[in-house]
Amino acid sequence: MSSEPFDDALLDDEEALAHADPALRGLAEAGARVRREAEAAKGVEQGLVGHGRPRAVVAVGADARLLRAVLEPWCPVPFVAWPGPGLPGWVGALDLVVVLAPTGGDAETASAVHDAVRRGTTVFLACPGESPLAEAGQGRDTTLVPAQTGDPLALAVVVLQLLHVVELGPEVSAESVAMALDDVASRCSPYADLAANPAKDLALVLAEALPLIWGGSVLAARAGRRVVETLRGASNRPALAADADHLMPVLEGAAPRDVFADPFADSEAPTLRPALFILDDGAQQPTIREARGRLLAAAESRGLHVRTLTWNEGPEVARYAALQSLGTYAAIYLAVGLGRYFPPT
């Protein structure tokens, strides 16, 4: 696949960056959105003390899979992230349904809420307080978490805090997540030039690559999938996030780099080659080290570019948020360098 022209001078060009300002501003305000959601949920936390343990937990809606990634290793009862519509047939009055609808939900989310209310299920409904979904979910067993910002990550972090209050998940600090997002925003600011900005530097590598993204931990893998979604929208190019077993055939199938090739022979439309991007959140289990070693060896044997994005500061959810934010900044700068307009995040 041939690449589009990428102009790295645009990454420090005021006019080009102005076109990306809505998306960049949205990322810069991510930490503030987490704090706003957490502040709005303080009253909800106080009302949850003393809730009994459900038979099982079902999560539906935006970022339900993030909840699963955090809760599955910890939750003392079965946990399911359900894509909808409706709910699994076994869900009943003994279970808890968690609904994440930061912008008010869609038809599938609404069907899950209607099912939950009809079955007498305990519901944590995270959505705007004045939305039709909130009205549909009203009931004796429904706890409303009033969404403020429309941000799926911010709302998911607050719901994770609430699930810790009822002893269904690990302790999650919204402030630690907000601080991590603020830190990424500072490092990746459009006012930080190419030499000092890790996201702009990463965009240079992405400009000449078909990205293969791997995260060793469950949360790093989840961040990789979210980054890939953003990269596809930014570049209209293929990008893949997967586990090591699925990436190995792609790496091994890449043609070895020709060390004698003329680097200027195809300068107008150079062919994009796979490149391996590793999201490192500090997890060091033996299985993660082994998988990383296999991927690195395969990439090296084909002469493929490898880049590691590391963020090992703070709790695990904060590390997840930081890696996702860093990758999203890089995707926006990739769009800037390609002369594309990227929609707000």
Same domain as 69, residue 114: yes
Name the band, by pLDDT with cuts 50, 70 and 90, for residue 345: low
Same domain as 71, residue 199: no
Half-sphere CA count of 223, side-chain side, radius 13 A: 29
Nearest Cα neighbor of 44 from 130, 161, 177, 199 is: 161
Q: Model pTM?
A: 0.91
Residue 160, domain member (yes or no) = yes
pLDDT > 70 in the chain, percent: 93
Same domain as 226, residue 333: yes
Read off the CATH number of the domain in which 72 is found: 3.40.50.10490
Q: How large is the average pLDDT for residues 170-176? A: 95
Dump pLDDT digits (tens) for 272-284: 899 999 999 999 8
Same domain as 207, residue 110: no
Residue 25, domain member (yes or no) = no
Cα angle at 115 between 153 and 123, to 5 degrees? 50
Question: Which one of 174, 204, 230 terminates a domain?
Answer: 174
Q: How large is the average pLDDT for residues 127-142? A: 90
Q: In this structure, which amino acid lies at residue 264?
A: F
Same domain as 51, residue 103: yes
CB of 320 closer than 8 Å to CB of 219 = yes
Same domain as 194, residue 226: yes
Same domain as 239, residue 140: no
Dump pLDDT digits (tens) for 91-123: 999 999 999 999 987 888 999 999 999 999 999
Q: How large is the average pLDDT for residues 293-298? A: 96
Same domain as 162, residue 37: yes
Q: How large is the average pLDDT for residues 181-209? A: 94
Residue 27, domain member (yes or no) = no
Question: Which one of 115, 147, 174 terminates a domain?
Answer: 174
pLDDT top residue among 344 and 333: 333
Same domain as 209, residue 125: no
Same domain as 147, residue 167: yes
Name the band, by pLDDT with cuts 50, 70 and 90, for residue 48: confident
Residue 3, domain member (yes or no) = no
Residue 299, domain member (yes or no) = yes
The whole domain housing 237 covers: 8-20+190-257+267-337
Q: What phi and psi values does residue 271 have, to the nearest 5 degrees?
A: -80, 130
Question: Which one of 120, 139, 174 terminates a domain?
Answer: 174
- Return the pLDDT at 50: 67
Same domain as 217, residue 115: no
Dump pLDDT digits (tens) for 233-242: 988 899 999 9
Residue 183, domain member (yes or no) = no
Residue 211, domain member (yes or no) = yes
CB of 13 closer than 8 Å to CB of 202 = no
Instruction: Find tokens 């890089």 and name the residue.
Output: 330
- C-alpha span between 245 and 145 (Å, rounded): 39
Q: 62-71, 246-255, 257-266: which range is least confident on average?
A: 257-266
Residue 344, domain member (yes or no) = no
- Return the pLDDT at 145: 94
Q: Specify the number of domains making up the chain.
A: 2
Same domain as 318, residue 203: yes
Nearest Cα neighbor of 162 from 78, 34, 42 is: 42
Q: Count other C-beta atoms under 10 Å from residue 173's C-beta.
A: 17
Q: What is the rounded average pLDDT for all residues in the chain?
A: 90
β-partners of residue 142 are 123
